[in-house]
Amino acid sequence: MTNMNETIFGSSYLVGKSVYVDGKHRLKNITLMDYMKELGFIDHSGPVETLSVVWHYDKEGDMYITQIYDHDTGEIYWEDPTDDEWSDNDDEITNALLMYGGLENTIGECY
């Protein structure tokens, strides 16, 4: 059994989003909440105050995200899909969290 970890992010927590401006790769700051909405993972207009990200390390030491849910209501917005269900949006949100979320440094609440 793998040890699961959980990191809690407030609604204003910023991650990096890859964008292209005039043909050049840039990073744009975007709140995790807005990014989840933009990618279609949160599809309601109601408030979401905190997101919990559940993650673990595999035997080789690679980090994997398994779930993202509303910490207050328990509503699940993203779960690790099977390889044949994986989409570009799954890639975008997991890469943003793995690269800019500081998951290993933020066990507990992070605003």
Q: For the chain, give the mean pLDDT.
A: 87
Q: How confident is the model at residue 67 (pLDDT cuts 50, 70, 90)?
A: very high
Amino acid at 2: T
This prediction has a pTM of: 0.86
What is the tens place of the pLDDT at every residue in 72-105? 999 999 999 888 899 999 999 999 999 888 887 7
Q: How far apart are CA 22 and CA 111, in angstroms?
A: 32
Q: Which of 23, 43, 25 is nearest to 89 (CA)?
A: 43
Amino acid at 82: T
Asked if pLDDT for residue 4 goes beyond 80, the answer is: yes
Q: How far apart are CA 97 and CA 94, in angstroms?
A: 5
